[in-house]
Amino acid sequence: MRVISLLLVLFGAVHTGTAVAGDSTDSVTGGYKVQFGLFSSEADPKTGAIIVNVEETLDIPQIIREDGFLFGVKIVPPNEDPFEVRLIHELPLDPKVKTGGSTESAGGQIIEGKPQQIVGVAVLPFNFDPGDPVGEYGLKVLVNDVLSRSIRYRVFVPGAE
């Protein structure tokens, strides 16, 4: 799985979506609202700025990045103070393609991202490479070295169910 290291720091982001039973798809810890799900974007009609919407879900279709599909985490801070974000991904199997500058352990099934300094709303997009495994994934979102959200989600091949 490719974890895009480029952060889109956006202001005026919009939240849409529905909560899913079994795990809260968004949480607020220390004033930081952490959302997870499918991304879509649109231009703000007044300012032209890009707004990232999150359709909150714990079921993620495995659509490869060449098709333009993105999912991930959006963090809305309580104020404009800088904060640090670190992500730890748990994959069901070792991926065939490895990209990005993350630290791996457990045979490539645990991928720990480097801490990133953020100001404003953080949009952390992910996508799939060909050969990435399907199954149960985990994601830990640490804000300022505090676990803000632990997410368990399912990756599936569309139409194979």
* pLDDT number for residue 4: 38
Q: How confident is the model at residue 64 (pLDDT cuts 50, 70, 90)?
A: confident
DSSP state of 64: B
Q: How far apart are CA 89 and CA 36, in angstroms?
A: 13
Residue-averaged pLDDT of the chain: 80
Q: How far apart are CA 129 and CA 94, in angstroms?
A: 12
Q: How far apart are CA 130 and CA 5, in angstroms?
A: 19
**Two tokens at 92?**
């069901």
Q: How confident is the model at residue 27 (pLDDT cuts 50, 70, 90)?
A: low
The ranges assigned to domains in the chain are 2-156
Candidates 1.10.10, 2.60.40, 3.30.9, 2.60.120; correct CATH number of 2-156?
A: 2.60.40
* pLDDT number for residue 16: 30
How many of the other CB atoms lie within 10 Å of CB of 124? 24
Q: How far apart are CA 157 and CA 60, in angstroms?
A: 9
114, 85 in Cβ contact below 8 A? no
Measured between alpha carbons, how far is residue 41 from residues 49, 53, 93, 118, 135 in Å? 10, 6, 31, 20, 27
99, 4 in Cβ contact below 8 A? no
Dihedrals phi, psi of 125, to nearest 5 degrees:
-85, 150
Range scoring the smallest mean pLDDT among 20-24, 64-68, 142-146: 20-24
* pLDDT number for residue 160: 76
Q: Residue 80: name the closest of 8, 9, 145 by CA.
A: 9
* pLDDT number for residue 150: 97
The predicted model scores a pTM of 0.76
pLDDT single digits (tens) 79-123? 999 999 999 999 998 666 655 555 555 566 888 999 999 999 999
Q: How far apart are CA 161 and CA 153, in angstroms?
A: 16
